[in-house]
Structure formats: structure tokens, C-alpha cells
Amino acid sequence: MEGNNIIQVRNLCKSFGNLNVLNDISADFKEKKVVSIIGPSGGGKSTFLRCLNLLEMPTSGKIIFNGVDLCSNVDINVQRQKIGMVFQHFNLFNNMNVMKNLTIAPMRIKGKSKEEAEEKAIGFLKRMGLEDKANAYPAQLSGGQKQRIAIVRSLMMEPELMLFDEPTSALDPEMIGEVLDVIKQLAYEGMTMLIVTHEMRFAREVSDRILFLDGGRIDEDRTADEFFDDPHSPRLISFLQKVL
């Protein structure tokens, strides 16, 4: 049975001055589904993701999240609590240890007690194999460890939707797998995710759908197998020949 739409994008446009980065994008995203967004550099992938929680304000169009148009006069901070985002470069607080990084937002924003927040954080750290890093500072962690901590920090807010913006692009090759394994596990557990990625094999394995974004437009929107085995768009065919 198909899930409900968690986010609906209608005629989304984004310009920076005279540069049109997103051109009239419309798409629906369902609960408990994983959608990867693939395309050439400069095609608008990261801008699209950042528009979904208004880190970039769309020039025009609608973004409807659980029935609420985020582009209308809403308290975006309330809505953002339900949308986790993991960036390329971790964005951890370097002056705080791991436990403080994980618990500060649940305590300040969601009103969790210190004990409740720390108990939840320890549970996540054990799942990630990082329980011995609770008192470490970001400078003492590897890139893969920092990114797994960044994922936990988002999960601590109990999001309904997770956005990943090229979560492995800043990592050394041997660290990529440990982060992708975490995302795979979230997919198997039914987390709704949109993932901008260059990891083609991972995208095929984990995605229910794949969007090909080029020139600020969705050039192809298919199931993972269809996307790789039977691409229709000449631009996608050319792209896959270069990256596979």
C-alpha cells in the first residue's frame, strides 16, 4: 500500500540574481520512502534540498510539508524540528563534546530533561558503535565518526523527514562505507529520506526512486532499477556512461 505524501513541491523556482538555479520543479515524496537525487555538479541538487526546509528561500512556488505550505506565513522553526538535515561538512559545535552536541537541541528546543536526552543519546551512540566517544570533541574524531555523530544529532530531534546533502563527499574513501551503512539501516527501518549523492551503487541499493536533476529541472524520475537499466533521457544516458 502506498504511503501518504509527506512533502509536495509545486512549481518551485529559485534564482540568485540573474542565475536561475531551479526551474519549475514539481514532485511528490511519500512517507517511508527513500529518494536519491543525482545529477551533474551545478544542476541544482543541493539548492533543491536546501529549499525544502527554507535554508534557501524559494523565488516562487510551494513546498507543502504535511499539509502546511512552508512558503506561506508559518513558523519555519517549528516545521524544521520535524525535518532533519545532514550536510557535507558535519557542522558540529567544535567547542562542545559529543554528548553536548547531541543533547543541546532536544533540551533547549523540545524541553527534554538532561537525563532523558543523555539516555537517548547513549542509545544512539551504542547503535553507531560510538559509545566510547561521548566525551570526545569533534577534533578528536575521524571524518566518518563526525558524520555519524551529525546523523545522530538529527535523529535526536525525532524527525519525520531526513535530508542528506552529499553526506560522504567530504570523507576519505575508507570512511564512506561506515556512513552509508548507517543510512541503509535507517532506510530499512522506514525513515523517509531524500539523499543527494554521487554514490551510484548505494543509490541503486537503497532508493525507492531516483530523480535526475540537470539544469535546474527534473530530467528523469524513475524507480531505481528503471533509472539505471532503462534510462530514457539522452542527458541521463550520457551522464550514466560517464559515471558508471
Q: What is the torsion angle, in degrees rounded to the nearest 10, for the CA atoms of residue 106, residue 112, residue 116 and residue 118?
A: 30
Whole-angstrom CA distances from 175 to 38, 44, 72, 234, 242 are 21, 26, 40, 34, 24
Each of the 244 residues of the chain gets a pLDDT tens digit; together they read 457 999 999 999 999 999 999 999 999 999 999 999 999 999 999 999 999 999 999 999 999 999 999 999 889 888 888 999 998 888 899 999 999 999 999 999 999 999 999 999 999 999 999 999 999 999 999 999 999 999 999 999 999 999 999 999 889 888 899 899 999 999 999 999 999 999 999 999 999 999 999 999 999 999 999 999 999 999 999 999 999 8
Burial class (CB in 10 A: 0-12, 13-18, 19+), 227: buried
Helix axes 98-109, 143-155, angle to 10 degrees: 20
Instruction: List the domains of the chain with CATH numbers.
Output: 5-82+160-243 (3.40.50.300), 90-152 (no CATH)
Least Cα distance to 151 among 176, 120, 186 occurs for 186
d(CA 12, CA 39) in angstroms, rounded, equals 18
The pLDDT of residue 1 is 40
CB burial of 124-139 (b: ≥16 within 10 Å; e: otherwise) equals bbeebebeebeeebbe
The confidence score (pLDDT) of residue 137 equals: 97
Q: How far is CA 127 from the centre of its chain?
A: 20
